[in-house]
Chain A
Amino acid sequence: MKTILQILELYRKKETTPYEIVSEYIKVIEEKEEIYNAFINIYKEEALDRAIELSKYSVDEFELYGIPIAIKDNIAVESMELTCGSRILLGFKSPYSATAVKRLLNQGAIIIGKTNLDEFGMGCSTEFSYFGPTKNAIDHSFVAGGSSGGSAVAVKLGEVPASLGSDTGGSIRQPSAFNGVVGLKPTYGRVSRYGLVAFASSLDQIGPIALNVKDLALIYRVISGYDPKDSTSVNIEVEKIEDIFINKRYKVGIPRDIITEDVEKEIKDGFEYAISKLVDIGHIVEDIKLEYWKYALSVYHIISSSEASSNLLRYDGIRYGYRGSSDNLWDLYIKTRSEGFGEEVKRRILIGTFCLSYGYYDEYYIKASKVRRLIKEEFMKAFKKVDVIITPTVPVFPWKLGEKLDDPIKMYLADVYTVLANLVGIPSISVPVKISKNGFPISIQIMGNYFREKDILDLAHQVEFNETS
């Protein structure tokens, strides 16, 4: 399996062309898709046409010259379908491209297809897609993780060298951990959200998934930066690659209380292994105390569902997408949304609508916002003592397809560590540190301070376990 850096090297040596590379990847896609279902739409002809177009240029003109990339299907690409894994957007073509996508295209990337996801990003197994589940790349009887399951599996299978996902509560990092690839959720405001279909606007962030940390950094650099189209994006300069991988020694915070009995034994061991590896390399490890993490999952679900209930109001069958049939306006709304949305989305819309309702708003939304602030303050305090904070990415291994479908609460627990970075708004990376006996990788997440992506990328690069690194 080739990394981005290897492909670029082949181009430089003129040993291959974008057309050949795209053809190779399409061959893999055609072999694997029937089993794994990582893609919702594949744009073979468009990708090949662009590959030919790119051959007029030279590899040194672009940072991602001729690199095939898959895009999670909740990120807009002009004239491609944008389904969000939902029936309600079946057949809807986006009239514009997300800023992150434009930046990739400006640097010579080739978009090869749109990947599967839990409907509107709501879920952590990619089973809640109108287009069927994506299967785990290591064992296809297991879940892929989610919601960016398609993007993680596509990379692991070698269908693309890298992809974009989106992360609202762990949706990039958790499937990356389940499939043994690396995934980054940048700082809130680092990557423009313009063109990312909103799930929870104050938590959503676009980020890359790749085979190793160096590839991840390449994509991260290209998609980051201020965008006037996103008022929450921040104008802070993005690091150069050579300033990121400096092999620095860091002060690493370990919130030991977080590792409860519910964490699977082998994951605990894997986490301890990672800590000892950090110490061996020469990093300073320090225990830190976090109190409010216990409330994070509840706070996350109240805030994300509240925002989602509002963000999803626009799917009403009036202007685009699926429309239920009725002569009566209110009935049309009811039919469109009842038939267009899946069960998990409906569940979250109901919870969110309740949390924002008159009489409950203070008790739920406002209270959750206050606790969110406390969690933030606690992290800020911790970052005065340490450079980064690590936890396991997920407390459990991938489960069998269908196993937790009837128990959403149990399923939500998979996000318990990852939601922290979204609530605080800090960058976080998931990186595999070893392979467990069952064959699934064990990953840790490394959280850094605001706009300190360089710290977590540098550290992740030093500890990553990867065949390609």
Chain B
Amino acid sequence: MKTKIGLEIHLELKTKSKMFCSCKNDYNQEDDANTNICPICLGYPGTLPSVNRKAIEYAIMLSQALNCNINSSIQFYRKNYYYPDLPKGYQISQYKLGSVGYNGYLYTELYGGKKIAIDRVSLEEDTARSIQMENEVLLDFNRAGIPLIEIVTKPDMESSKEAVKFLENLRLTVQYLKISDANMEKGHMRVDINVSVENNERVEIKNVNSIREVENALEYEINYQIEEIKKGRRIKRTTKMWDDYLKITREMRRKESEEDYRYFPEPDIPSIDISEYRFLVKTPFDVYNELISLNVNREYAEIIVRDMRLCNYFYEFLENSGDAVVGSNLLVNILKSFDTLPSVREFAKLSFFMKENKIPPHIARQKLLEMKENLNVDEILKNIEVISESEIENIVKSLIERYPEKFFEYKSGKQGLIGFFIGEAKKINSKIDPKAFREVFEKISQNINLL
């Protein structure tokens, strides 16, 4: 059955101060509860919001990265409802018109894949954190007023896998822009899911706290709906909660899902002209394409782009004139598992000598694993016996003489036999570089006519 999934993502921004006051944005929840508060973010009578410009800039950067149209001016709206975590009784938010970005898209794969349409990118403020105790609810207003970006997609995803891929790419994009850590466990990124099967009513799922939970919740809910439809039951439009302990979705009280928020333009904040604000943004997609254009293998490029530690290291490596092809290979296959990476200069130097065939790849690998972060290229070079080309030629010739029938098979098309000759050559001289040997072998074999 056909499934349609739309997502609403809330991102806490890593600004210094809150959205509408100068209180510290205690983004990683390091401070004691209710220490970063003031009359404004507590909603005291008579206070007014003043907008954090940095948050607007971040929303513009993300809109650009998500290929959105950007409004020339933005307008805040009030979303009215009662809840103890909402100090003013309304959340300063944005509403369809006047959002920062609209009509954008994001791909599910770095090389492209499926295009997921983004409906809008808008700004709002976070609510207080409420902590449910046995008989009471504790409120921490440190979180009240932290800037949030809301990203709403069109219902373009058709499976839990696609939703996961979209979210991973979105998280990566945000991390590249350095506007949020997008750590779901810390609540930097929160996801609400809308899912419908076979054009039935859509069901909203809240309280999903990791990408894995998104996948589990979706799989559970889609299966549940399919079973219901098979039994001929009608799917109600409703809001559910993901219960990660029981691994099920369950319905929330009606009250919370059928509220009229009475949106109207926030009279305390005049519309803001943002037509002059545009930024240079580099997305993971840009970086991926850049690596591909440097002839980095696609699989390696993806691994590097998805690991910001490797990616930052790799870019520093390129700045030090490292060789992209050689470097990406070693980075993904060897360096990736190191706790500490070797100095970028040494690593760039290594790639240079490998490119020049001064250090054969098998030696480089072996030495990297030995030296790890203490990589010292001069040390490697000192210990390397460079086998001259004429010496290799001699070995090649002696092997052809020793194994004429293997050579015949090789010439007849069994190219794989080169491995046999490399093995034999290593028995003669263990330090022989397979790549150099192969080149010489091919050259000589071309000059020998069998008949």
Contact = CB atoms under 8 A, between A and B. Distances in A.
A454 B263 CA distance: 38
Nearest to A317: B84
Contacts of A92: 45
B51 interface: yes
Contacts of A314: 43, 45, 87-89
Contacts of A320: 44
Q: Decide if the interface of chain A is mainly helix, strand, loop or mixed.
A: loop
A228 B50 contact: yes
B50 A353 contact: no
Contact of A94 (B45, B84, B262, B264): B45
Interface residues of A, number: 45
Contacts of B78: 310
A247 to B, nearest CB: 36
Q: Decide if the interface of chain B is mainly helix, strand, loop or mixed.
A: loop
Interface in A25-48: none
A198 B44 CA distance: 11
B82 A313 contact: yes
Contacts of A197: 45-46
Contacts of B139: 318
B39 A96 contact: yes
Interface string A68-85: 000000111000001010
A383 to B, nearest CB: 21
Nearest to A356: B262
Interface in A324-349: 329, 333
Contacts of A181: none
Contact of A231 (B89, B260, B269): B269
B262 A361 contact: yes
A74 B45 CA distance: 9
Contacts of B263: 361
Given A95-B39, A310-B262, A193 B48 contact: yes
Interface string A208-247: 0000000000000000000011111000000000000000
A213 B89 CA distance: 40
B48 A76 contact: no
B96 to A, nearest CB: 13
Contacts of B50: 228-231
6 contacts: A76-B45, A231-B49, A231-B268, A307-B267, A314-B89, A319-B43
B48 A230 contact: yes
Contacts of B269: 231-232
B270 interface: yes
Interface string B49-71: 11100000000000000000000
Contacts of A365: 264
B45 A82 contact: yes
A332 to B, nearest CB: 9
Contact of A196 (B39, B46, B51, B260): B46
A120 to B, nearest CB: 9
Contacts of B45: 76, 82, 84, 89, 92, 94, 197-198, 314
A75 B270 contact: no
B90 A310 contact: yes
B264 A306 contact: yes
A196 B78 CA distance: 19
Interface in B272-311: none
A76 B46 contact: yes
Contacts of B89: 310, 312-316
A194 B46 contact: yes
B46 A82 contact: yes
A313 B90 contact: yes
A356 B264 contact: yes
B42 interface: yes
B80 A231 contact: no
Contact of B84 (A74, A76, A318): A318
Contacts of A229: 48, 50
A378 B262 CA distance: 30
Contacts of A253: none
B80 A310 contact: yes
Contacts of B51: 231
A291 to B, nearest CB: 26
A193 B269 CA distance: 12
Most chain A CB within 10 A, of B45, B47, B268, is at: B45
Contact of A319 (B42, B260, B262): B42
B339 to A, nearest CB: 48
B46 A198 contact: yes
A195 interface: yes
Interface in A385-424: none
Contacts of B48: 193-194, 229-231
A316 B85 CA distance: 11
Interface string B68-102: 00000000001010101001111000000000000
A185 B43 CA distance: 26
Contacts of A76: 45-46
B270 A231 contact: yes
